[in-house]
A and B are shown apart, each in its own frame.
Chain A
Amino acid sequence: MIEFDRVSLTLGSFCLKDVSLNVGKGDYYFIIGPSGAGKTVLLEAIAGLHSPGSGRVLLRDEEITALPPEKRGVALVYQDYSLFPNMTVADNVSYGLRVRGMRKGEARTGVAGLLERFGIAHLADRYPGTLSGGEQQRVALARAVAVKPDILLLDEPLSALDPVTQERFIDDLRRLHREEGLTIVQVSHSRREAHLLATRVAVIIDGTLVDEEEAEVVLNTPRSREVASFVGIENILDGIVTANEDGHATVDAGGRTFEVVTEAAAGEAVTLCIRADDVVLVTGDERRSSARNTMAGRVVSVAENGPVAEVKVDCGVTLTAVLTRRSARDLALVPGIAVTLSVKATAIHVIG
């Protein structure tokens, strides 16, 4: 759908460096990265609001590098919604149709169905200042969808909403993506949103695109250590391969030996990524697990967070496990208690 071919651009003291990406038709494309990494600039560059210093932008294989925003068939929603305070909800939503030459009455009729769909029909004659955050967000989204964009661009659309409204809005977005077959590009610093919505993910750090893949791949088997740490893989260990037999290798990491599946040869430095929910805990010293990596350790801390509990275990190296709060309580996990920890060899992602 839209493709960046080695795009670089400088904006004041900030620059995007050599970014190549490919947003496919129907993708729910996430651009994630830490604050100040250049996510919003990248989104604005897709919209055509900044022109690249070098590189090409292609839309359906046609070069559009110099095409102005109003001709790109995009719509942009910022995190502060950017509604027009002196227009009613209906006038806000129909704005895009009016600038395309539709008469006011006609445009208002044109968006009636949309207002209904977004559950804001009863607010049609209200002004944005009198609406709640969630309502404003739906108005902003309806306004963007009204122009029937080829690509909908969302800049951290959930960050200003309370948790309950966020959940509802995630459902709205998922439905919008599925039912309309819309191509959506969303900027976010939340890994959780990416897990829930993304089909494809790009990770941007310091103006550079460090990874771009199917969401599953980026989030679970990242390509580099910095991406692993950004996508929230809880256990990241540096080690050296000590032996490798047909892809079944042993890795020495922090004085502990792990059995993993990798092509890396003996002597190579590798990084091991282990998701906390792949770490299994049992109390005491029972080594009856069929997992290939089993080790004894002691609980260092237990932190309950809603329905889950995050347990840190010292077994030579410190590893984090996540289990349901219920099972953490059933196992009577408290700091100091002896536990046995196991991880399947296939659950360890190795970055070579």
Chain B
Amino acid sequence: MVNENPIIEGFIEAIELIVTLDPQVVEITIRSLYVSLTATFFAALIALPLGALIYFYEFRGKHAVVSTLQTLYALPTVIVGLLMFLLLSNIGPFGFLRLLYTPGGMIVTQTILIIPLLMGLTVSALSGIDRDKRYTITALGASRLQTIMTIIAEARFAVMAGVLLGFGRAIAEVGTVMIVGGNIRGATRVLTTAIALNTSMANYSLSIALGIILLAVALGVNITLSLVQRR
């Protein structure tokens, strides 16, 4: 007897798509990973030193900066998407870069999206090294630079956990990549935008397959995170 339920059918087909390494599924997955991993890499490159700078230097308004960063954790992705669209569009100041509707544009946008999160989490990670430890390091004869390097080395697992969380936010978000990337098949379509589109087209099997992959990635990030935190 043939099962008529489209959801169950969708699941069965989805498994088939994954197991047979359907070219479309593979392509979208690889692009998704490429965009979000690259964005996380650049965001880390910018945010970790900035976070360290905020933590190690005393300045007026430091507290306000940290609070602002924490507020930006929850920045709606569509707002970032809209802003970046305006900046990158032909009429915008960065239109000449021709990044709109390209993976490059998506990378830039996701980078900007997760920088506050990575900065804030870097500050928290370093704050985990308490005052007594800082003083101990200094009193044992470490110079200022050596003290900073030791604290960063000691906080490295907490910093790594922050980077993983940033990657998790990047790969799971849909707002910016939809607006800035445009969800163009074969060019800027990623897991989240593909799921949104295919679901609205009642193409459940592809949506479910991509959803399973997205969940697997999220699960992978979480497992890595808990392994890191166990250290």
Contacts and interface: CB of A to CB of B under 8 A. Distances in A.
Contacts of B142: 70, 99
B11 interface: no
Contact of A70 (B132, B143, B153, B231): B143
Contact of B132 (A69, A78, A85): A78
A143 interface: yes
Interface residues of A, number: 26
Contacts of A68: 138
Given A70-B142, A99-B142, A78 B136 contact: yes
A100 B157 contact: no
A147 interface: yes
B58 interface: no
Contacts of A49: 135, 138-139
B139 A74 contact: yes
Interface string A68-99: 11100011111010101111000000011001
A70 B141 contact: yes
Contact of B140 (A48, A80, A86, A99): A99
Interface in B199-231: 231
B156 A75 contact: no
A153 interface: yes
A144 B154 contact: no
A100 B142 CA distance: 7
B45 to A, nearest CB: 23
B140 to A, nearest CB: 4
A44 interface: yes
A153 B139 contact: yes
A281 interface: no
B24 interface: no
A86 B136 contact: no
Interface in B136-171: 136-143, 146, 150, 153-154, 156-157
B133 interface: yes
Contacts of B154: 84-87
A70 B138 CA distance: 6
Nearest to A70: B141
Interface string A302-335: 0000000000000000000000000000000000
A57 interface: no
B157 A82 contact: no
A198 interface: no
Contacts of A82: 130, 132-133, 135-136
Most buried by A among B130, B139, B146, B157: B139
Going nearest first, the 4 A-B pairs with the smallest beta carbon separation are A76-B139, A96-B140, A82-B136, A99-B142
